[in-house]
Amino acid sequence: MVKFLGIYFGRERQEKQRADALYNHLVAASRNPTLYGSSGAPDTANGRFELIILHIFLLFRRMQEDNQQVKSIKQKTFDCFLENMDVNLREIGVGPDGVPKRIQKMLENFYGRAGAYQATIDDGDVDKMAEAIGRNFYADGKVNQAGAQQIAQYAFNAVKLLDNASTDDLLACNFKYSN
């Protein structure tokens, strides 16, 4: 890796730029207003966080390749997520001692959800995806069944769109999560 004092050079710089663009692309998709409200996720910090996790999972599921460049960009995209979460936590007043603990919890949440979401996709079961989304998105226990079902269907449609996108289109952010 060619990095000096936090500055990337050459190929590393290009990969970092692509990772930043991919992260911004997935965040923009997760902020789509149609994904929120009575027929979607709660418009809360938790709801927004859950949609970012879902979009990262969907993107990373598609980026399961042996290509070293894809692996590197995928890792850098995940690093963007962690950096963004760190900044957000500090902005809302979480102290320096609390940030690592919260980041660790976010990582546990991400990997737990990724495992659950992958299992539902492997099974082709939209209803199980809706159950997993219900557990995760509605932390107050008041699950919005219609919202969970809509997001689950959205996720399955996104899988199809991402699976049909070429790797070049993916790395150039020339893809959509929905029609």
DSSP 103-164: HHHHHHHHHHHHHHHHHHHHHT-HHHHHHHHHHHH-TTS---HHHHHHHHHHHHHHHHHHHH
pTM of the model: 0.89
CA atoms within 13 A on the CB side of 29: 26
The pLDDT value recorded for residue 179 is 86
Q: What is the pLDDT along the chain (179 residues), one digit of tens a residue?
A: 455 555 556 778 889 999 999 999 999 999 999 999 888 999 988 899 999 999 999 999 999 887 899 999 999 999 999 888 887 777 777 777 877 888 888 899 899 999 999 999 999 999 999 999 999 998 777 889 999 999 999 999 999 999 999 999 999 999 999 98
The pLDDT value recorded for residue 100 is 81
The pLDDT value recorded for residue 112 is 94
The CA R_g of the chain, rounded to the nearest whole Å, is: 17
170: exposed, middle or buried (C-beta count within 10 Å: 0-12, 13-18, 19+)?
buried
- Choose among 72, 97, 102, 80: nearest CA to 12: 72
The pLDDT value recorded for residue 1 is 45
Residue spans of the domains in the chain: they are 11-171
